[in-house]
Amino acid sequence: MMAADSGSSVLIEKEFPKSEKKKTTYDVIIIGAGPAGYTAGIYCSRAKHDTLILSGILPGGQLVNTTEVENYPGFENGIMGPDLMITMRKQTERMGTTIIDDEVVDVDFRHKPFKILTASEEYECRAVIIATGASPRKLGLQGEATFGGRGVSYCATCDGPFFRNQELIVVGGGDSAIEEATFLTKFASRVHLVHRKDQLRASKIMQERAFANSKIQFHWNSEVTDISGDQKVQKATLKNTKTNESATLNVGGIFVAVGHIPNTKVFENRVELDSQGYVVLKDHTKTSVEGVFAAGDVHDHRYRQAITAAGFGCMAAIDVDRYLTESK
């Protein structure tokens, strides 16, 4: 199709009228759409800042992979994790936040306005909130993926109460594994702590507490090599790495507590990260770059709860509001 007189620019204008051009400049861009990102969006939009959330390809964060959430206040009878995140998203959009399901591939925080790049677009903004969260480290077993949400869990606080009177496995030897194993003894008939070494990395006081707990049975120098079941987890195979002997345990659940990986690859050399890759906070939610803030599991490896992430999202948005008001 050729325009009669005017060349290609008119053709482009006709096919892509100016009013439909994608908006790429915002006051605030929030990267990540878990509880921290959505809460930050709600607060930024209510403070009348033009706000965009770049949610990544799989929005919703870790709660999308959980089943029932009983510990998020406001839901008397609990709520399914994916439903909670859909509700948060709708609430955020209703407040006026734009949400685009696109993944950030690079950021330029050297000059203002900041530039945020996705594979197809370049956005500009005056302030950024990093809320990309962290992902639980996986064991890498096929059964782990098959039984995710059906017996395999990465959060005892979230899922422990669903496993009353069952035998459970906790994998790992750090503070998280010991804390989770100890917590799970409130519900489980027995907790098998499976650790690949012959000593724990966890703090001494937590170790002592676990050793004194008769419900925890330790399996040293051991790995889970297979997870199986019908509709949900029923069995796990353990291999002793010293003797190469294998054994089968009948268990209802497997809690993997082998650490988390913060989702900060794209921020390497852009903001200060600690040795584990978590964003370093300088003053409340401020990062090493003025105008760039962080909220949720991307900086917080201690609490890692949906409600604490949401709280950090609120704090970051209030800090952004002050920053934008002062720097106008």
Q: What is the contact surface with ligand NDP in residues (CB under 6 A)?
A: 137, 139, 171-177, 179, 196-197, 201, 258-259, 301
Catalytic pick among 158, 297, 319, 321? 158
The rounded distance, in Å, linking the Cα atoms of 138 and 132 is 18
The rounded distance, in Å, linking the Cα atoms of 161 and 158 is 8
Measured from the CB atom, the residue of 172 and 252 that comes closer to ligand NDP is 172
Residue found by looking up tokens 């004194």 in the block: 212
Give the closest residue to 112 by CA, choosing from 293, 279, 292, 322. 292
CB of 190 to ligand NDP, least distance (A): 20
Catalytic pick among 27, 44, 125, 159? 159
Question: Half-sphere exposure of 20 toward its Cβ, with a 13 Å CA cutoff?
Answer: 6
Catalytic pick among 155, 297, 319, 321? 155
Measured from the CB atom, the residue of 254 and 320 that comes closer to ligand NDP is 254
CB of 144 to ligand NDP, least distance (A): 11
CB of 252 to ligand NDP, least distance (A): 20
In angstroms, the Cα distances linking 322 to 44, 90, 286, 291, 327 are 11, 26, 12, 10, 8
The rounded distance, in Å, linking the Cα atoms of 255 and 252 is 10
Measured from the CB atom, the residue of 100 and 139 that comes closer to ligand NDP is 139
The answer to whether residue 158 is catalytic is yes
The answer to whether residue 5 is catalytic is no
Residue found by looking up tokens 């915002």 in the block: 26
CB of 182 to ligand NDP, least distance (A): 10
Measured from the CB atom, the residue of 50 and 175 that comes closer to ligand NDP is 175
Measured from the CB atom, the residue of 102 and 175 that comes closer to ligand NDP is 175
The rounded distance, in Å, linking the Cα atoms of 44 and 49 is 6
In angstroms, the Cα distances linking 80 to 71, 118, 159 are 11, 30, 12
CB of 238 to ligand NDP, least distance (A): 12
Measured from the CB atom, the residue of 81 and 262 that comes closer to ligand NDP is 262
The rounded distance, in Å, linking the Cα atoms of 280 and 274 is 6
Work out the angle at residue 106's Cα, subtended by the Cα atoms of residues 274 and 287, and round it to the nearest 5 degrees. 35
CB of 245 to ligand NDP, least distance (A): 18
With contact defined as beta carbons under 8 Å apart, do 189 and 167 qualify?
yes
The rounded distance, in Å, linking the Cα atoms of 176 and 180 is 6
The answer to whether residue 159 is catalytic is yes
Q: Which amino acid would we find at residue 194? A: V
* Active centre residues (catalytic): 155, 158-159
